[in-house]
Amino acid sequence: MDFSGFNSAEQAHMNKVIEKKQMQDFLRLYANIVEKCFSTCCNDFTSKALSSKEDQCVMNCTEKFLKHSERVGSRFAELNAGA
């Protein structure tokens, strides 16, 4: 993605677009994590409240997914920088 041929008005416009997309992407990530972690961790519906096991599972799941996403991001950036 080469933005060097853009004048400053276009650059400003692109920055706004990118900011909006980052926000949407973040919300999508959030929804994804919730769905993934809920489906793997929450299987006991004998109670309304989260059991401590489920709670711990969800916390671990979220942390793991975020770390995973970070790692994929670094590898991806390395690949693109090298390409």
Partner 1 sequence: MSFLGGARSSTSAGGLNNDKIEMAITELDTITDFFNRMVSSCHAKCVGTRYAEGDLNKGEMVCIDRCVAKYNEVQKKVGEKIQSRGAAGNASG
Per CB under 8 A, residues contacting partner 1 are 1, 3, 5-7, 9-10, 13-14, 17-18, 21, 25, 28, 32, 36, 40-41, 57, 59-65, 67-69, 71-73, 75-76, 79
- Tokens, residue 81: 């920088």
Cα-trace Rg, the chain: 19
What is the Cα–Cα distance from 71 to 46, expressed in whole angstroms? 37
What is the Cα–Cα distance from 13 to 1, expressed in whole angstroms? 15
Least Å from the CB of residue 48 to partner 1: 22
Least Å from the CB of residue 54 to partner 1: 10
Least Å from the CB of residue 21 to partner 1: 7
